[in-house]
Amino acid sequence: MQRSRTLTVDKGSEIKVYNEGAIRHNVAVVEYCRTCTAVFCGMGAGVLGLTALYGFGFYILSIVGMWLLLVAKAGSNYERFFTSRKAILTNGFFGALFTYILCWTFAYGMVHVY
């Protein structure tokens, strides 16, 4: 099995070896979940008729909710899957925001303006 590894030296005395393909896979999974969350919550915000700041507040709520879901899924031993939990929250924040706004305005137009 061919596999490339990245070698990083820890601040302590331990040398950590990471499986690069697995890191990339996990980041892709988180990106997929974030896009799905943005799409579904955007459509939900449009259907519920949220406007202006309420809509953005709902987006922040949905992203934090997704973060809690993924952190719970990773479990207490999260270092098996992620190097940093905060990165899951902040990584694609504005990219997913645009997806959210797209679905939000579409659903709002469909339902409330029609």
Residues that bind another protein (CB under 8 A): 3, 5, 16-19, 21-23, 25-26, 29, 32-33, 36-37, 40-41, 43-44, 47-49, 62, 65-66, 69-70, 73-74, 79-83, 107, 110-112, 114
Cα dist. 60→32, 33, 37, 56, 73 in Å? 17, 15, 11, 6, 20
Q: How far is the CB of 5 from another protein (least distance, A)?
A: 5
Secondary structure (DSSP) of 4-32: -EEEEE-SSSPEEEEEHHHHHHHHHHHHH
Which of 65/98 has CB closer to another protein? Answer: 65
Q: How far is the CB of 98 from another protein (least distance, A)?
A: 18
Q: How far is the CB of 15 from another protein (least distance, A)?
A: 10
Which of 28/90 has CB closer to another protein? Answer: 28
